[in-house]
Amino acid sequence: MFKGALFDLDGVIADTAVFHFAAWRNLIKKYFNADLPDELEEKTKGVSREDSLRVILDYLQISVPADAFARLAEEKNEAYVAALEVLTPDYILPGIADFIQTLQENGVKLALASASKNGPLILEKLGLSEAFDAIADPANVANGKPAPDIFLAAAQGLGLAPADCIGVEDAVAGVTAINASGAYSVAVGGDELNHAKLRFKSTADLDFTKIKTAFGKID
């Protein structure tokens, strides 16, 4: 049985993915009068603020000097944080509160493994800060997802080996990061996440017993 659960935040615990991409869309419209296609959203999921901006500027084939790049990232974050004002526990994704409770009842420790520097603020607004035994700080890891660093830091924060943990993700880069860390990847989402060891269509479908059984079958 696993002893720890390493959670992504945006799109797994909180319904915030839409706020991230809306903030990018508004910013890009304002400064470059360009529209971002829906398909670009997956490429900005799970990756850091700066890597998201790189993905977007590459798509637009625009290059900007370092100071302008930093200002764009900062302005996106200001808009994103302003949008988070509306956040309440209602923004916890379906099934997550029950899933967290079941994990706790089974003695599983919880850690946050999010690329977001706004993780602690969001957990606070959702009323979930107390549920987490550790929060890995993305500012303190060398490499963002798809590198394993944030999941390794989250497992370490719980005092556990990654092999004794599951990781829960909704992004392609995030599932790759869990696999590279040695934790057992559980995905919520579509076929693009088929590199996960176990996949559920949505957070509402997360099933503790199924995960426990599948984890128990690893050799």
What is the contact surface with Mg ion in residues (CB under 5 A)? Answer: 8, 10-11, 170-171
Q: Assess 179 for contact with ligand BG6 (CB under 6 A).
A: no
**Is 112:135 a contact under the CB 8 Å cutoff?**
yes
Q: Which is nearer to Mg ion, 4 or 174 (CB)?
A: 174
Rg (alpha carbons) of the chain, rounded to whole number? 17
Contact region with ligand BG6 (CB under 6 A), list: 28-36, 47-55, 84-92, 185-193: 47-55
Nearest to 89 by CA among 15, 12, 10, 22: 15
User: Is residue 98 among the annotated active site residues?
Assistant: no
Asked if residues 210 and 198 have their Cβ atoms less than 8 Å apart, the reply is yes
> How far apart (Å, rounded) are the C-alpha atoms in residues 50 and 41?
14
- Told to judge if 8 belongs to the known catalytic residues of this protein, a careful annotator would answer yes
**Is 116 marked as binding a ligand?**
yes
Stretch that binds ligand BG6, among 29-37, 90-98, 108-116, 192-200 (CB under 6 A): 108-116
Question: Which of ligand BG6, Mg ion, none interacts with 43 (beta carbon under 5 to 8 A by kind)?
Answer: none
DSSP code per residue over 111-159: EE--S-TTHHHHHHHHT-GGG-SEE--GGG-SS-TTSSHHHHHHHHHTT
The binder of 49, among Mg ion, ligand BG6, none, by C-beta within 5 to 8 A per type, is: ligand BG6
Residue numbers at the binding site for ligand BG6 (CB under 6 A): 9-10, 20, 44-49, 52, 77, 114-118, 171
Q: Give the residue ranges of the annotated binding site for Mg(2+).
A: 8, 10, 169-170
